[in-house]
């Protein structure tokens, strides 16, 4: 399952699951991540999953690289209670106020705006990882007809809740933030709740995500 375990500085290592970015490899990353979190090895201070790697930080006063590598290698990978697939439904408003790049995307891809939205909403997305800013989900895989590069000049401020696409991925900005993704709408739902210490993430790695359209009135009156 893990192809290679390597040093990452003095007090971290990474587990390499391969070079490809796909759901099969990422599911393996998440499975090991959940097992490590369940069986917390003494000395491990942080575990961060990505598309195809797992970064593990550790306390050198408690455990070293070789000891940790051996424990990970010998660890039995089992199904966990969290392994069941969760489907998360996310509302998105595609009003002109929120779909900042829709017109430009339409011209660049030579696809009607309504067709872009129809294709985007027709897919079920897979959350590969969260990061960049707290709780931001990175999801795939975008329909091949909608794939395009990031903005040549990133925005200084992308509004919280913005739904963006780039290459094979889509995301949701959990805070106002600089960013270069192509924005097609905005969600009123809270994707990351910093005050919910036990469960701050609405979308977690491994979850399936479905977007559905709401109008501006529903958006403005949204209450959770």
- Domain endpoint, select from 49, 83, 117: 83
My answer on whether 186 and 105 are in the same domain is yes
My answer on whether 41 and 62 are in the same domain is yes
Mapping DSSP to helix (H, G, I), strand (E, B) and coil, where does residue 160 land?
coil
Q: Using 50, 70 and 90 to split pLDDT, how confident is the model at 222?
A: very high
Strand partners, 14: 6, 55
Q: Tell me, what's the pLDDT at 82?
A: 59
| % of the chain with per-residue pLDDT over 70 | 97
Nearest-angstrom CA–CA distance, 220 and 16: 44
Name every residue whose Cβ is closer than 8 Å to that of residue 189 and which is 6 or more positions away in sequence.
Answer: 90, 91, 161, 202, 222, 224
- Domain endpoint, select from 40, 66, 83: 83
Instruction: Give 19: exposed, middle or buried? Use CB within 10 Å, 0-12, 13-18, 19+.
Output: exposed
My answer on whether 174 and 210 are in the same domain is yes
What CATH number is given to the structural domain containing 151? 2.40.100.10
Instruction: Assess contact for 17 and 7: CB atoms under 8 A.
Output: no
Q: Alpha carbon of 180 to those of 100, 148, 164, 166: distances in Å?
A: 12, 12, 9, 9
Show the beta-strand stretches assigned E in the chain.
4-7, 12-16, 44-49, 53-58, 87-93, 124-130, 137-140, 155-158, 162-166, 169-172, 177-179, 182-186, 208-214
Q: Tell me, what's the pLDDT at 88?
A: 97
My answer on whether 101 and 206 are in the same domain is yes
Nearest-angstrom CA–CA distance, 96 and 169: 22
Domain total for the chain?
A: 2
Q: Tell me, what's the pLDDT at 81?
A: 61
What CATH number is given to the structural domain containing 42? 3.30.1360.40
My answer on whether 131 and 76 are in the same domain is no
Q: Tell me the residue range of the domain where 203 lies.
A: 87-220
Mapping DSSP to helix (H, G, I), strand (E, B) and coil, where does residue 72 land?
helix
My answer on whether 10 and 75 are in the same domain is yes
Q: Alpha carbon of 6 to those of 81, 97, 101: distances in Å?
A: 29, 47, 41
pLDDT in tens, 87-126: 999 999 999 999 999 999 999 999 999 999 999 999 999 9
My answer on whether 33 and 73 are in the same domain is yes
DSSP letter, residue 201: B
My answer on whether 113 and 198 are in the same domain is yes
Q: Tell me, what's the pLDDT at 179?
A: 96
Q: Tell me, what's the pLDDT at 59?
A: 96
My answer on whether 163 and 135 are in the same domain is yes
- Domain endpoint, select from 37, 55, 83: 83
Whose CA is closest to 28, among 61, 51, 10, 56?
A: 51
My answer on whether 53 and 111 are in the same domain is no
Nearest-angstrom CA–CA distance, 209 and 99: 20
My answer on whether 34 and 91 are in the same domain is no
My answer on whether 70 and 146 are in the same domain is no
């Amino acid at each position: 399952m893990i192809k290679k375990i390597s040093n990452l500085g003095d007090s971290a290592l990474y587990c390499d699951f391969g070079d490809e970015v796909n759901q099969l490899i990422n599911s393996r990353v998440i499975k090991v991540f959940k097992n490590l979190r369940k069986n917390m090895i003494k000395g491990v201070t942080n575990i961060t999953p990505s598309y195809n790697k797992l970064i593990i930080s550790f306390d050198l006063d408690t455990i070293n690289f070789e000891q940790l590598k051996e424990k990970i290698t010998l660890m039995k990978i089992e199904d966990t209670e969290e392994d069941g697939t969760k489907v998360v439904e996310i509302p998105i408003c595609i009003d002109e106020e929120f779909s900042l790049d829709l017109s430009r995307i339409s011209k660049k891809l030579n696809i009607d705006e309504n067709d872009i939205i129809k294709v985007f909403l027709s897919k079920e997305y897979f959350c590969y990882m969260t990061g960049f800013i707290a709780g931001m989900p990175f999801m795939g895989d975008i329909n091949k007809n909608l794939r395009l590069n990031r903005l040549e000049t990133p925005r200084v401020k992308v509004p919280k809740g913005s739904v963006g696409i780039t290459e094979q991925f889509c995301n949701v900005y959990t805070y106002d933030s600089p960013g270069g993704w192509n924005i097609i709408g905005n969600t009123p739902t809270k994707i990351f709740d910093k005050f919910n210490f036990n469960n701050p993430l609405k979308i977690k790695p491994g979850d399936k995500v479905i977007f559905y359209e709401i109008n501006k009135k529903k958006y403005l009156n949204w209450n959770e």
